[in-house]
Protein backbone atom coordinates (compact mmCIF):
# COMPACT_ATOMS: atom_id res chain seq x y z
CA UNK A 1 0.00 0.00 0.00
CA UNK A 2 1.25 3.51 -0.83
CA UNK A 3 2.22 5.79 2.09
CA UNK A 4 -0.93 7.41 3.44
CA UNK A 5 -1.11 11.08 4.39
CA UNK A 6 -1.96 12.04 8.00
CA UNK A 7 -1.50 15.73 7.31
CA UNK A 8 -2.64 18.05 4.52
CA UNK A 9 0.96 18.97 3.69
CA UNK A 10 1.64 15.29 2.84
CA UNK A 11 -1.14 15.14 0.27
CA UNK A 12 -0.17 14.79 -3.38
CA UNK A 13 -2.33 13.73 -6.30
CA UNK A 14 -1.29 10.74 -8.45
CA UNK A 15 0.75 11.83 -11.47
CA UNK A 16 -1.30 11.94 -14.69
CA UNK A 17 -4.64 12.22 -12.88
CA UNK A 18 -7.28 14.92 -13.21
CA UNK A 19 -9.97 16.10 -10.80
CA UNK A 20 -13.72 15.81 -11.24
CA UNK A 21 -15.22 19.32 -11.55
CA UNK A 22 -18.61 20.37 -10.24
CA UNK A 23 -19.95 23.66 -11.57
CA UNK A 24 -23.51 24.97 -11.59
CA UNK A 25 -24.92 21.60 -10.59
CA UNK A 26 -23.07 19.75 -13.37
CA UNK A 27 -20.29 17.22 -12.78
CA UNK A 28 -17.53 16.96 -15.41
CA UNK A 29 -15.67 13.67 -15.42
CA UNK A 30 -12.27 13.41 -17.11
CA UNK A 31 -11.05 10.12 -18.61
CA UNK A 32 -8.30 9.83 -15.98
CA UNK A 33 -10.00 10.84 -12.71
CA UNK A 34 -8.46 10.56 -9.31
CA UNK A 35 -10.60 8.50 -6.93
CA UNK A 36 -9.83 8.22 -3.23
CA UNK A 37 -9.62 4.77 -1.68
CA UNK A 38 -9.82 4.01 2.03
CA UNK A 39 -9.12 0.33 2.64
CA UNK A 40 -10.56 0.40 6.15
CA UNK A 41 -10.31 -2.02 9.07
CA UNK A 42 -10.68 -5.77 9.63
CA UNK A 43 -11.52 -7.44 6.31
CA UNK A 44 -11.47 -3.99 4.63
CA UNK A 45 -8.00 -4.20 3.02
CA UNK A 46 -8.84 -7.61 1.53
CA UNK A 47 -12.26 -6.73 0.10
CA UNK A 48 -11.28 -3.25 -1.09
CA UNK A 49 -8.05 -4.61 -2.60
CA UNK A 50 -10.23 -7.04 -4.55
CA UNK A 51 -12.63 -4.27 -5.60
CA UNK A 52 -9.81 -2.04 -6.88
CA UNK A 53 -8.46 -4.92 -8.97
CA UNK A 54 -11.90 -5.70 -10.44
CA UNK A 55 -12.78 -2.03 -11.11
CA UNK A 56 -9.46 -1.39 -12.89
CA UNK A 57 -10.03 -4.44 -15.07
CA UNK A 58 -13.66 -3.50 -15.81
CA UNK A 59 -12.62 0.00 -16.91
CA UNK A 60 -9.92 -1.51 -19.14
CA UNK A 61 -12.36 -4.01 -20.65
CA UNK A 62 -15.05 -1.36 -21.20
CA UNK A 63 -12.89 1.48 -22.60
CA UNK A 64 -9.59 -0.08 -23.73
CA UNK A 65 -6.88 2.27 -22.55
CA UNK A 66 -8.89 5.45 -23.07
CA UNK A 67 -10.07 5.73 -19.45
CA UNK A 68 -8.32 4.90 -16.22
CA UNK A 69 -8.85 5.53 -12.53
CA UNK A 70 -5.92 6.88 -10.50
CA UNK A 71 -6.32 5.77 -6.89
CA UNK A 72 -5.41 8.07 -4.02
CA UNK A 73 -4.81 6.15 -0.77
CA UNK A 74 -6.29 7.69 2.38
CA UNK A 75 -6.97 6.37 5.89
CA UNK A 76 -9.88 6.46 8.33
CA UNK A 77 -11.20 4.35 11.22
CA UNK A 78 -9.09 2.33 13.65
CA UNK A 79 -6.23 2.15 11.14
CA UNK A 80 -6.12 5.94 11.00
CA UNK A 81 -6.32 6.13 14.79
CA UNK A 82 -3.25 3.91 15.02
CA UNK A 83 -1.25 5.64 12.26
CA UNK A 84 -2.37 9.28 12.59
CA UNK A 85 -3.78 9.43 16.14
CA UNK A 86 -7.32 10.24 14.98
CA UNK A 87 -10.00 8.06 13.33
CA UNK A 88 -10.71 10.73 10.74
CA UNK A 89 -7.70 12.88 9.79
CA UNK A 90 -8.58 16.29 8.34
CA UNK A 91 -6.56 15.43 5.24
CA UNK A 92 -8.87 12.48 4.52
CA UNK A 93 -11.96 14.68 4.61
CA UNK A 94 -10.36 17.49 2.60
CA UNK A 95 -8.90 15.13 0.00
CA UNK A 96 -12.31 13.54 -0.63
CA UNK A 97 -13.87 17.01 -0.82
CA UNK A 98 -11.27 17.84 -3.48
CA UNK A 99 -11.43 14.67 -5.58
CA UNK A 100 -15.23 14.18 -5.08
CA UNK A 101 -15.16 10.38 -5.50
CA UNK A 102 -14.16 7.73 -3.00
CA UNK A 103 -14.38 4.00 -2.38
CA UNK A 104 -14.29 3.20 1.32
CA UNK A 105 -13.90 -0.05 3.22
CA UNK A 106 -15.61 -0.74 6.56
CA UNK A 107 -14.38 1.24 9.54
CA UNK A 108 -14.36 -0.08 13.08
CA UNK A 109 -16.16 1.95 15.74
CA UNK A 110 -15.86 1.20 19.45
CA UNK A 111 -19.21 0.41 21.11
CA UNK A 112 -20.44 2.63 23.95
CA UNK A 113 -17.30 4.78 24.27
CA UNK A 114 -13.98 5.68 22.59
CA UNK A 115 -13.98 7.79 19.46
CA UNK A 116 -17.09 8.78 17.46
CA UNK A 117 -18.00 6.87 14.31
CA UNK A 118 -15.74 8.08 11.49
CA UNK A 119 -18.43 6.88 9.05
CA UNK A 120 -21.08 9.16 10.52
CA UNK A 121 -18.66 12.07 10.78
CA UNK A 122 -17.51 11.68 7.19
CA UNK A 123 -21.11 11.74 5.93
CA UNK A 124 -21.85 14.84 7.97
CA UNK A 125 -18.66 16.75 7.10
CA UNK A 126 -19.02 16.07 3.36
CA UNK A 127 -22.78 16.52 3.47
CA UNK A 128 -23.35 13.11 1.86
CA UNK A 129 -27.04 13.38 2.49
CA UNK A 130 -28.36 10.31 0.70
CA UNK A 131 -27.36 6.71 1.29
CA UNK A 132 -28.44 4.67 -1.72
CA UNK A 133 -28.53 0.89 -1.48
CA UNK A 134 -29.70 -1.21 -4.42
CA UNK A 135 -30.85 -4.69 -3.45
CA UNK A 136 -30.79 -7.07 -6.36
CA UNK A 137 -30.41 -10.78 -6.93
CA UNK A 138 -27.47 -11.90 -9.03
CA UNK A 139 -28.32 -15.59 -8.79
CA UNK A 140 -26.53 -16.09 -5.47
CA UNK A 141 -27.72 -18.86 -3.16
CA UNK A 142 -30.12 -17.69 -0.46
CA UNK A 143 -32.51 -19.50 1.88
CA UNK A 144 -35.28 -17.21 0.62
CA UNK A 145 -37.74 -18.67 -1.92
CA UNK A 146 -38.30 -15.78 -4.33
CA UNK A 147 -35.03 -13.83 -4.59
CA UNK A 148 -35.55 -13.31 -8.33
CA UNK A 149 -38.49 -11.07 -7.52
CA UNK A 150 -36.34 -8.68 -5.48
CA UNK A 151 -35.05 -5.58 -7.24
CA UNK A 152 -35.35 -2.52 -5.07
CA UNK A 153 -33.37 0.55 -4.13
CA UNK A 154 -33.36 2.13 -0.68
CA UNK A 155 -32.78 5.90 -0.41
CA UNK A 156 -31.93 6.63 3.19
CA UNK A 157 -31.47 10.09 4.70
CA UNK A 158 -27.90 10.16 5.88
CA UNK A 159 -27.25 13.17 8.10
CA UNK A 160 -30.02 13.43 10.70
CA UNK A 161 -32.22 11.36 13.01
CA UNK A 162 -30.88 9.49 16.02
CA UNK A 163 -27.66 8.80 14.07
CA UNK A 164 -26.77 12.50 14.10
CA UNK A 165 -24.85 11.68 17.27
CA UNK A 166 -26.62 14.19 19.55
CA UNK A 167 -26.66 12.02 22.65
CA UNK A 168 -25.39 12.01 26.21
CA UNK A 169 -24.56 9.26 28.68
CA UNK A 170 -26.99 8.76 31.58
CA UNK A 171 -24.45 9.99 34.13
CA UNK A 172 -23.14 13.01 32.17
CA UNK A 173 -23.62 16.64 33.16
CA UNK A 174 -25.20 17.24 29.74
CA UNK A 175 -27.83 14.54 30.27
CA UNK A 176 -28.61 15.95 33.71
CA UNK A 177 -28.98 19.47 32.23
CA UNK A 178 -31.14 18.13 29.45
CA UNK A 179 -33.41 16.22 31.86
CA UNK A 180 -33.71 19.34 34.02
CA UNK A 181 -34.59 21.45 30.97
CA UNK A 182 -37.33 19.01 29.96
CA UNK A 183 -38.69 18.95 33.50
CA UNK A 184 -38.63 22.70 34.14
CA UNK A 185 -39.67 23.85 30.68
CA UNK A 186 -42.12 21.12 29.61
CA UNK A 187 -42.97 19.18 32.77
CA UNK A 188 -41.45 16.02 31.21
CA UNK A 189 -39.98 13.77 33.89
CA UNK A 190 -37.27 11.27 33.01
CA UNK A 191 -35.69 8.88 35.49
CA UNK A 192 -32.43 10.26 36.92
CA UNK A 193 -30.48 7.43 35.26
CA UNK A 194 -31.76 8.09 31.71
CA UNK A 195 -29.31 8.49 28.83
CA UNK A 196 -30.70 10.76 26.13
CA UNK A 197 -30.46 11.06 22.35
CA UNK A 198 -32.11 13.63 20.08
CA UNK A 199 -33.96 12.70 16.88
CA UNK A 200 -33.72 15.70 14.56
CA UNK A 201 -35.54 15.46 11.21
CA UNK A 202 -35.76 18.64 9.17
CA UNK A 203 -37.88 19.63 6.22
CA UNK A 204 -34.86 20.78 4.21
CA UNK A 205 -32.85 17.56 4.65
CA UNK A 206 -35.92 15.42 3.98
CA UNK A 207 -36.83 17.32 0.86
CA UNK A 208 -33.42 17.22 -0.78
CA UNK A 209 -33.44 13.45 -0.27
CA UNK A 210 -36.97 13.26 -1.69
CA UNK A 211 -35.93 15.29 -4.72
CA UNK A 212 -32.98 12.99 -5.40
CA UNK A 213 -35.02 9.78 -4.94
CA UNK A 214 -37.99 10.92 -7.02
CA UNK A 215 -35.92 12.30 -9.88
CA UNK A 216 -33.78 9.13 -9.88
CA UNK A 217 -36.89 6.90 -9.91
CA UNK A 218 -38.46 8.83 -12.78
CA UNK A 219 -35.22 9.00 -14.79
CA UNK A 220 -34.57 5.26 -14.39
CA UNK A 221 -38.15 4.28 -15.26
CA UNK A 222 -38.94 2.73 -11.86
CA UNK A 223 -42.55 1.83 -11.01
CA UNK A 224 -43.06 2.95 -7.45
CA UNK A 225 -41.64 5.13 -4.66
CA UNK A 226 -42.67 4.12 -1.14
CA UNK A 227 -42.10 6.41 1.82
CA UNK A 228 -41.22 4.36 4.92
CA UNK A 229 -41.91 5.86 8.34
CA UNK A 230 -43.42 5.33 11.76
CA UNK A 231 -45.36 8.57 11.71
CA UNK A 232 -48.21 7.22 13.80
CA UNK A 233 -45.94 7.25 16.85
CA UNK A 234 -43.24 9.81 15.95
CA UNK A 235 -45.60 12.36 14.44
CA UNK A 236 -43.35 15.39 14.21
CA UNK A 237 -40.25 13.61 12.98
CA UNK A 238 -41.16 10.53 10.90
CA UNK A 239 -44.75 11.65 10.29
CA UNK A 240 -43.43 15.00 9.08
CA UNK A 241 -40.85 13.14 6.96
CA UNK A 242 -43.67 11.41 5.06
CA UNK A 243 -45.62 14.65 4.60
CA UNK A 244 -42.57 16.50 3.33
CA UNK A 245 -41.74 13.80 0.77
CA UNK A 246 -45.33 13.93 -0.51
CA UNK A 247 -45.03 17.72 -0.69
CA UNK A 248 -42.04 17.45 -3.06
CA UNK A 249 -43.75 14.73 -5.11
CA UNK A 250 -46.82 16.90 -5.61
CA UNK A 251 -45.12 20.28 -5.98
CA UNK A 252 -42.18 19.31 -8.17
CA UNK A 253 -43.03 16.03 -9.92
CA UNK A 254 -46.82 16.25 -10.36
CA UNK A 255 -46.76 15.33 -14.05
CA UNK A 256 -44.73 12.18 -13.49
CA UNK A 257 -46.32 10.71 -10.38
CA UNK A 258 -49.64 9.36 -9.19
CA UNK A 259 -50.79 8.80 -5.60
CA UNK A 260 -52.35 5.59 -4.30
CA UNK A 261 -55.72 7.22 -3.57
CA UNK A 262 -55.83 8.58 -7.12
CA UNK A 263 -55.80 5.09 -8.64
CA UNK A 264 -58.27 3.44 -6.26
CA UNK A 265 -61.06 3.86 -8.80
CA UNK A 266 -58.81 2.28 -11.49
CA UNK A 267 -58.42 -0.96 -9.46
CA UNK A 268 -54.95 0.13 -8.44
CA UNK A 269 -53.56 0.15 -11.99
CA UNK A 270 -50.79 2.74 -12.37
CA UNK A 271 -51.16 4.73 -15.61
CA UNK A 272 -48.42 4.12 -18.21
CA UNK A 273 -45.39 6.35 -17.68
CA UNK A 274 -46.31 7.36 -14.12
CA UNK A 275 -44.52 6.48 -10.89
CA UNK A 276 -46.77 5.50 -8.00
CA UNK A 277 -45.94 7.34 -4.75
CA UNK A 278 -47.26 5.73 -1.56
CA UNK A 279 -46.23 5.28 2.07
CA UNK A 280 -46.08 2.39 4.51
CA UNK A 281 -45.63 2.18 8.27
CA UNK A 282 -42.26 0.75 9.23
CA UNK A 283 -43.41 -2.42 11.00
CA UNK A 284 -45.75 -3.37 8.17
CA UNK A 285 -43.10 -2.59 5.57
CA UNK A 286 -40.41 -4.66 7.29
CA UNK A 287 -42.58 -7.79 7.35
CA UNK A 288 -43.82 -7.22 3.80
CA UNK A 289 -40.22 -6.93 2.60
CA UNK A 290 -39.87 -10.58 3.55
CA UNK A 291 -43.34 -11.76 2.51
CA UNK A 292 -43.87 -9.68 -0.67
CA UNK A 293 -40.67 -7.83 -1.60
CA UNK A 294 -41.92 -7.49 -5.19
CA UNK A 295 -44.39 -4.88 -3.93
CA UNK A 296 -41.44 -2.56 -3.35
CA UNK A 297 -39.27 -0.72 -5.81
CA UNK A 298 -37.75 2.54 -4.54
CA UNK A 299 -38.04 3.08 -0.77
CA UNK A 300 -37.36 6.48 0.84
CA UNK A 301 -36.58 6.36 4.57
CA UNK A 302 -35.41 8.41 7.50
CA UNK A 303 -31.89 7.50 8.62
CA UNK A 304 -32.35 4.88 11.36
CA UNK A 305 -35.26 3.10 9.74
CA UNK A 306 -33.36 3.15 6.43
CA UNK A 307 -30.49 1.29 8.05
CA UNK A 308 -32.85 -1.48 9.16
CA UNK A 309 -34.83 -1.59 5.91
CA UNK A 310 -31.71 -1.91 3.77
CA UNK A 311 -30.28 -4.64 5.99
CA UNK A 312 -33.51 -6.70 5.92
CA UNK A 313 -33.76 -6.27 2.16
CA UNK A 314 -30.12 -7.34 1.73
CA UNK A 315 -30.73 -10.45 3.84
CA UNK A 316 -33.52 -11.55 1.50
CA UNK A 317 -31.09 -11.80 -1.43
CA UNK A 318 -28.28 -13.50 0.47
CA UNK A 319 -26.86 -11.22 3.15
CA UNK A 320 -24.58 -8.27 3.61
CA UNK A 321 -21.61 -9.91 1.89
CA UNK A 322 -23.14 -8.85 -1.42
CA UNK A 323 -24.83 -5.54 -0.48
CA UNK A 324 -23.26 -2.31 -1.75
CA UNK A 325 -24.10 1.28 -0.85
CA UNK A 326 -23.20 4.77 -1.97
CA UNK A 327 -23.34 7.95 0.10
CA UNK A 328 -24.16 10.84 -2.20
CA UNK A 329 -24.10 14.59 -1.91
CA UNK A 330 -24.23 17.09 -4.74
CA UNK A 331 -21.54 16.04 -7.23
CA UNK A 332 -19.69 13.99 -4.61
CA UNK A 333 -19.96 10.39 -3.44
CA UNK A 334 -18.37 7.81 -1.16
CA UNK A 335 -19.23 4.22 -2.10
CA UNK A 336 -18.85 1.40 0.42
CA UNK A 337 -19.91 -2.14 1.21
CA UNK A 338 -22.93 -2.22 3.52
CA UNK A 339 -21.20 -4.58 5.94
CA UNK A 340 -18.76 -3.85 8.73
CA UNK A 341 -15.15 -4.87 9.34
CA UNK A 342 -16.02 -8.46 10.44
CA UNK A 343 -12.85 -8.59 12.59
CA UNK A 344 -13.06 -12.35 13.21
CA UNK A 345 -12.58 -12.97 9.49
CA UNK A 346 -9.77 -10.42 8.97
CA UNK A 347 -6.62 -11.64 7.25
CA UNK A 348 -8.05 -15.11 6.53
CA UNK A 349 -8.70 -14.68 2.79
CA UNK A 350 -12.32 -15.79 3.21
CA UNK A 351 -14.39 -12.55 3.17
CA UNK A 352 -16.78 -11.97 0.31
CA UNK A 353 -15.56 -8.93 -1.65
CA UNK A 354 -18.72 -8.70 -3.79
CA UNK A 355 -20.31 -5.89 -1.75
CA UNK A 356 -17.16 -3.78 -2.22
CA UNK A 357 -16.94 -4.70 -5.90
CA UNK A 358 -20.59 -3.73 -6.46
CA UNK A 359 -19.99 -0.54 -4.46
CA UNK A 360 -17.30 0.24 -7.03
CA UNK A 361 -19.84 -0.40 -9.80
CA UNK A 362 -22.24 2.01 -8.08
CA UNK A 363 -19.57 4.70 -7.96
CA UNK A 364 -18.86 4.19 -11.66
CA UNK A 365 -22.56 4.33 -12.55
CA UNK A 366 -24.05 6.90 -10.18
CA UNK A 367 -21.22 9.42 -9.93
CA UNK A 368 -18.89 9.00 -12.91
CA UNK A 369 -21.64 7.92 -15.32
CA UNK A 370 -19.41 5.08 -16.57
CA UNK A 371 -22.32 2.71 -17.13
CA UNK A 372 -20.43 0.40 -19.51
CA UNK A 373 -17.78 -0.44 -16.88
CA UNK A 374 -20.46 -0.87 -14.21
CA UNK A 375 -22.32 -3.26 -16.54
CA UNK A 376 -19.15 -5.31 -17.07
CA UNK A 377 -18.82 -5.74 -13.30
CA UNK A 378 -22.46 -6.65 -12.68
CA UNK A 379 -22.46 -9.12 -15.56
CA UNK A 380 -19.28 -10.79 -14.27
CA UNK A 381 -20.71 -11.12 -10.75
CA UNK A 382 -23.83 -12.82 -12.14
CA UNK A 383 -21.72 -15.08 -14.34
CA UNK A 384 -19.36 -16.06 -11.51
CA UNK A 385 -22.26 -16.95 -9.25
CA UNK A 386 -24.02 -18.95 -11.96
CA UNK A 387 -20.83 -21.02 -12.35
CA UNK A 388 -20.79 -21.73 -8.60
CA UNK A 389 -17.86 -19.41 -7.83
CA UNK A 390 -18.78 -18.12 -4.37
CA UNK A 391 -17.12 -17.32 -1.06
CA UNK A 392 -17.92 -19.14 2.21
CA UNK A 393 -20.90 -16.97 3.19
CA UNK A 394 -22.87 -17.92 0.08
CA UNK A 395 -21.47 -21.45 -0.21
CA UNK A 396 -23.16 -22.41 3.06
CA UNK A 397 -26.57 -22.08 1.42
CA UNK A 398 -25.69 -24.64 -1.23
CA UNK A 399 -25.07 -28.32 -0.66
CA UNK A 400 -22.14 -28.70 -3.05
CA UNK A 401 -20.30 -25.43 -3.78
CA UNK A 402 -16.69 -25.35 -2.58
CA UNK A 403 -16.04 -21.90 -1.19
CA UNK A 404 -13.39 -19.83 -2.89
CA UNK A 405 -11.03 -17.55 -1.00
CA UNK A 406 -11.27 -13.77 -1.48
CA UNK A 407 -8.29 -13.69 -3.82
CA UNK A 408 -9.34 -16.76 -5.83
CA UNK A 409 -12.88 -15.41 -6.29
CA UNK A 410 -11.42 -12.08 -7.44
CA UNK A 411 -9.23 -13.78 -10.03
CA UNK A 412 -12.22 -15.74 -11.36
CA UNK A 413 -14.11 -12.47 -11.81
CA UNK A 414 -11.18 -10.91 -13.65
CA UNK A 415 -10.94 -13.95 -15.95
CA UNK A 416 -14.67 -13.78 -16.68
CA UNK A 417 -14.50 -10.07 -17.50
CA UNK A 418 -11.59 -10.65 -19.87
CA UNK A 419 -13.45 -13.41 -21.72
CA UNK A 420 -17.05 -12.17 -21.71
CA UNK A 421 -16.45 -8.40 -21.28
P1 LIG B 1 -20.06 -6.91 10.35
O2 LIG B 1 -18.65 -6.50 10.37
O3 LIG B 1 -20.84 -6.56 9.14
O4 LIG B 1 -20.05 -8.50 10.51
C5 LIG B 1 -21.17 -9.24 10.90
C6 LIG B 1 -21.19 -10.57 10.20
O7 LIG B 1 -21.61 -10.39 8.85
C8 LIG B 1 -19.83 -11.27 10.06
O9 LIG B 1 -19.46 -11.94 11.22
C10 LIG B 1 -20.14 -12.19 8.90
O11 LIG B 1 -21.05 -13.20 9.32
C12 LIG B 1 -20.96 -11.30 7.99
N13 LIG B 1 -20.13 -10.53 7.06
C14 LIG B 1 -19.88 -9.19 7.06
N15 LIG B 1 -19.15 -8.85 5.99
C16 LIG B 1 -18.91 -9.99 5.31
C17 LIG B 1 -18.21 -10.28 4.10
N18 LIG B 1 -17.60 -9.33 3.36
N19 LIG B 1 -18.16 -11.57 3.70
C20 LIG B 1 -18.78 -12.52 4.39
N21 LIG B 1 -19.47 -12.30 5.53
C22 LIG B 1 -19.54 -11.05 5.97
O23 LIG B 1 -20.86 -6.36 11.61
P24 LIG B 1 -20.43 -6.19 13.12
O25 LIG B 1 -19.68 -7.40 13.56
O26 LIG B 1 -21.64 -5.80 13.80
O27 LIG B 1 -19.44 -4.94 13.13
C28 LIG B 1 -18.02 -5.04 13.18
C29 LIG B 1 -17.42 -3.63 13.10
O30 LIG B 1 -17.75 -3.04 11.86
C31 LIG B 1 -17.90 -2.67 14.20
O32 LIG B 1 -16.80 -1.94 14.67
C33 LIG B 1 -18.86 -1.74 13.46
O34 LIG B 1 -18.89 -0.46 14.03
C35 LIG B 1 -18.25 -1.70 12.08
N36 LIG B 1 -19.20 -1.37 11.00
C37 LIG B 1 -18.78 -0.51 10.06
C38 LIG B 1 -19.62 -0.18 9.00
C39 LIG B 1 -19.10 0.78 7.95
O40 LIG B 1 -17.92 1.09 7.96
N41 LIG B 1 -19.93 1.29 7.06
C42 LIG B 1 -20.86 -0.76 8.89
C43 LIG B 1 -21.27 -1.68 9.86
C44 LIG B 1 -20.43 -1.98 10.92
P45 LIG B 1 -20.67 -14.72 9.66
O46 LIG B 1 -19.52 -14.67 10.59
O47 LIG B 1 -21.92 -15.25 10.25
O48 LIG B 1 -20.34 -15.41 8.39
Q: How many CB atoms lie within 10 A of CB 225?
A: 27
Question: Residue 215: its pLDDT value, please?
Answer: 96
Low-confidence residues of the chain: pLDDT under 70: 1-2, 111-115, 399
Q: Which of 320, 326, 381 to mutate to test the pocket of ligand 1 (most atoms within 8 A of CB)?
A: 320
Question: Residue 144: its pLDDT value, please?
Answer: 80
Q: How many domains does the chain have?
A: 3
Question: Same domain, yes or no, for 52 and 39?
Answer: yes
Question: Residue 45: its pLDDT value, please?
Answer: 97
Question: Residue 117: its pLDDT value, please?
Answer: 82
Active site residue 283: yes
Question: Residue 399: its pLDDT value, please?
Answer: 66
Question: Same domain, yes or no, for 67 and 12?
Answer: yes
Q: Is the beta carbon of 336 within 6 A of some atom in ligand 1?
A: yes
Nearest CA to ligand 1 atom 43: 340
Question: Which entry of 41, 129, 230, 296 is annotated as an active-site residue?
Answer: 230
How many angstroms does the Cα of residue 189 sit away from the middle of ligand 1? 38
How many angstroms does the Cα of residue 96 sit away from the middle of ligand 1? 24
Residues 58-96 as b/e (b if ≥16 CB within 10 A, e otherwise) read: bbbbbeeeebebebbebbbbbbbbeebeebbbebbbbbb
Write the pLDDT tens digit of every residue in 336-357: 999 999 999 999 999 999 999 9
Closest atom of ligand 1 to 344 CA is 9
Question: Same domain, yes or no, for 6 and 123?
Answer: yes
Question: Same domain, yes or no, for 86 and 71?
Answer: yes
Question: Same domain, yes or no, for 336 and 285?
Answer: no
Please say which residue of 316, 346, 377 terminates a domain.
316
Question: Same domain, yes or no, for 30 and 107?
Answer: yes
Question: Which entry of 129, 163, 296, 409 is annotated as an active-site residue?
Answer: 163
Say which CATH number the domain at 57 has.
3.40.718.10
Active site residue 163: yes
CB 74 within 8 A of CB 5: yes
Q: Is the beta carbon of 47 within 6 A of some atom in ligand 1?
A: yes
Question: Residue 420: its pLDDT value, please?
Answer: 82
CA-nearest of 220, 238, 221 to 229 is 238
Whether 144 is in a domain gets the answer no
Question: Residue 128: its pLDDT value, please?
Answer: 97
Question: Same domain, yes or no, for 186 and 49?
Answer: no
Q: Is the beta carbon of 378 within 6 A of some atom in ligand 1?
A: no
pLDDT above 90 coverage of the chain, percent: 79
Domain span including residue 93: 1-136+322-421
Whether 142 is in a domain gets the answer no
Amino acid sequence: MARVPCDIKDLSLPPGSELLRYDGGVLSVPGNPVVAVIRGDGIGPEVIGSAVRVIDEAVRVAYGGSRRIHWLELVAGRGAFEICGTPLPEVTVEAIRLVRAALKGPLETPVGGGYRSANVLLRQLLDLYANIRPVKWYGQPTPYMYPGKVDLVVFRENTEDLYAGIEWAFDSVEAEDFRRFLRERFGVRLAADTGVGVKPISRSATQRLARLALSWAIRRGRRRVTIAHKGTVMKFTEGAFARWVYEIALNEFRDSIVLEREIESMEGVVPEGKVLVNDRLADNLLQQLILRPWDYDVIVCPNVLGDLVSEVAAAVVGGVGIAPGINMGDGIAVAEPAHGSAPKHAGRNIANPTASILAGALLLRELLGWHEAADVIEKAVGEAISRGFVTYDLARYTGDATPLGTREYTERLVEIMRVTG
